[in-house]
Amino acid sequence: MFRFVKYALLTFISPTVFADCLAPTELKALDYAYEQAIRQADADFLENTLLPQYVWVHNHAVVYETKSMLLARVAENYTAPKSREQTEVSIRRQGNTAVVTGLSTVDKFTDGPRRANRYHYMRTWVKTEAGCQLLAAQTMKVWSTEE
């Protein structure tokens, strides 16, 4: 009887329940999905992924953006960049918290020459009952085609 119950539970419960969303492969995929959600203005993904107290500190603290501010920005006349691609991604983890760092290159659509910015980023992910959610982000521009 126990084997049947165990089999039934394992068969009908999603395998993602058992996955560790802070494991390097899973977290890198989630972090990339966050980048693409911003690029594509995916408000549903952002709503479910960002913690209520989320904050994004932009280049030299010029902009301090909360969850509601980011959702409003991607909802109103948002001009999506051509691409957002990550390189040099690394993860540091302690318990139910992980910090993802790397470089993100953002290419914008233009009629003229290429316009791109590269940012060093750091994002703090927390494992919650709802899965892994983003608590904080910081970006610092390190390169631009406009400079």
Domain segments of the chain: what residues?
Answer: 20-144
Q: What distance in Å separates the CA atoms of residue 52 and residue 29, rounded to the nearest whole number?
A: 22
Say how far apart CA 14 and CA 22 lie, in whole Å: 17
Say what the pLDDT of residue 93 is.
Answer: 97
What is the rounded distance in angstroms from the CA atom of residue 74 to the CA atom of residue 69? 9
Among the ranges given (3-12, 31-40, 95-104, 114-123), the one the predictor scored with the smallest mean pLDDT: 3-12
pLDDT range class, residue 3, cuts 50, 70, 90: very low
CA dihedral 30, 46, 35, 13 (to 10 degrees): 20
Helices (H), the chain: 2-12, 24-39, 43-49, 67-75
CATH number of 20-144: 3.10.450.50
pLDDT by residue (tens digit) across 77-108? 777 767 788 779 899 999 999 999 998 888 88
Between 16 and 143, whose confidence is greater? 143
Strand order, beta sheet including 97-108: 64-66, 50-57, 131-144, 115-128, 97-108, 83-94
